[in-house]
């Protein structure tokens, strides 16, 4: 449970609209993200809680191929103050959205705990940050753990800490490539995680382009879907190019729920199919006048719609070679009484 929202195999997937730092430190843009997500039916939206000097040492490092700007400068300009984060949280509540945020330091986790967030999201970069995971888990709230850049053995160490805290948790498969080529998404990890962590809700944090891989993940059992989100890909920012826009978010919500609803079942005939059976099936019919005592052959009987006749097409071979018990006019559905 996150707030009043049940999450798991028997509940529709929860789609997390991951704003992250797409607001570039602007409170107005952060609130615009909330409005855009709410307008297309989002249930939950997620931000990132950065207190730069508490999460990293001063560095001139750039974030790989994501941006040529210095990592420190990116994170610093994208910080929201504690007051601004409270305002965003309150606005989410006003718009009916679950507010979540990812902490990147102890201090950020403490801030979010003071804000009484209903759950914590742990990003892939912190998946093997065991001290921070222990600090977060000790707060006793549900945890959503992303697992990019980690293998199964590494994830097990993190999960062990969460399980010792005896809190509900989810594990999200993730590939930390921006964007992720489809061949590197590896949806096979979803059933693998389901088998490895039976107590967890399993999901996908996806950085590929579009919604297709998320739809595939739902069919494989994913029940949380996280995608970067922006009101417009015309905005600046390092994560904007891999973010989905409002119409795509709406499609992800609608499509993932449809796939979830269509899951399971077996190959049987439903009672609800009977009205179509009645007209779509074929019955054995005469295609020429048949005299009493005449043999029934493919020259005088065949199969035609509708399927409401006494003898269905599947029984055609059982009728061939039989003799007519009485004269049969053309275009009549054959009945057992017509046969000797």
Say what the pTM is: 0.92
Residue showing tokens 């986790």 = 109
71: pLDDT confidence band, cut at 50, 70 and 90?
very high
d(C-alpha 287, C-alpha 294), whole Å: 14
Q: Does residue 65 register a pLDDT over 90? A: no
pLDDT for residue 287: 98
Contact 148, 175 (CB under 8 A): yes
d(C-alpha 282, C-alpha 284), whole Å: 7
Share of the chain above pLDDT 70, in %: 100
Please name which of 233, 239, 189, 246 lies closest in space to residue 213, comparing C-alpha atoms: 189
Domains within the chain, CATH numbers bracketed: 14-261 (3.20.20.70), 271-338 (3.90.1210.10)
Contact 103, 96 (CB under 8 A): no
State pLDDT tens for residues 174-204: 999 999 999 999 999 999 999 999 999 999 9
Q: Does residue 64 register a pLDDT over 90? A: no
State pLDDT tens for residues 21-49: 999 999 999 999 999 999 999 999 999 99
Q: Go through 195-220 and write b for each residue having 16 or more CB atoms within 10 A of its CB, e for each that does not.
A: eebeebbbbbbbbbeebebbbbbbeb
Higher pLDDT, residue 150 or 67? 150
């Amino acid at each position: 449970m996150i707030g009043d929202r049940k999450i798991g195999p028997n509940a529709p997937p929860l789609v997390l609209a991951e704003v992250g730092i797409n607001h570039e430190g602007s409170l107005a843009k952060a609130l615009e993200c909330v409005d855009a997500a709410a307008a297309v039916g989002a249930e939950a939206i997620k931000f990132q809680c950065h207190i730069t000097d508490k999460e990293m040492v001063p560095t001139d490092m750039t974030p790989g191929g994501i941006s040529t700007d210095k990592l420190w400068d990116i994170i610093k300009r994208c910080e929201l103050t504690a007051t601004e984060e409270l305002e965003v949280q309150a606005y989410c509540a006003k718009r009916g959205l679950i507010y979540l945020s990812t902490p990147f330091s102890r201090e950020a986790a403490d801030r979010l705990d003071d804000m009484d967030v209903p759950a914590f999201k742990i990003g892939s970069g912190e998946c093997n940050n065991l001290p921070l995971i222990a600090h977060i888990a000790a707060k006793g709230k549900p945890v959503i753990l992303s697992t990019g850049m980690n293998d199964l053995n590494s994830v097990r160490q993190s999960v062990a800490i969460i399980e010792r805290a005896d809190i509900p948790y989810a594990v999200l498969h993730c590939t930390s490539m921006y964007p992720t080529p489809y061949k590197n998404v590896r949806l096979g990890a979803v059933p693998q995680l389901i088998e490895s962590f039976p107590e967890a809700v399993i999901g996908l944090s996806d950085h590929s382009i579009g919604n297709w891989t998320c739809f595939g993940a739902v069919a494989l059992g994913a029940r949380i879907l996280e995608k970067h989100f922006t009101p417009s890909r015309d905005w600046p920012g390092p994560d904007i190019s891999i973010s989905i826009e409002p119409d795509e978010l709406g499609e992800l919500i609608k499509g993932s729920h449809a796939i979830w609803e269509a899951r399971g079942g077996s190959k049987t005939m439903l009672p609800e199919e009977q009205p179509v059976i009645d007209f779509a099936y074929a019955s054995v019919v005469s295609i020429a006048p048949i005299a009493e005592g005449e043999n029934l052959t493919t020259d005088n009987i065949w199969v035609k719609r509708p399927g409401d006749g006494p003898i269905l097409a599947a029984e055609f071979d059982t009728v061939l070679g039989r003799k007519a018990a009485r004269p049969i006019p053309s275009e009549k559905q054959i009945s057992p009484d017509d046969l000797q």
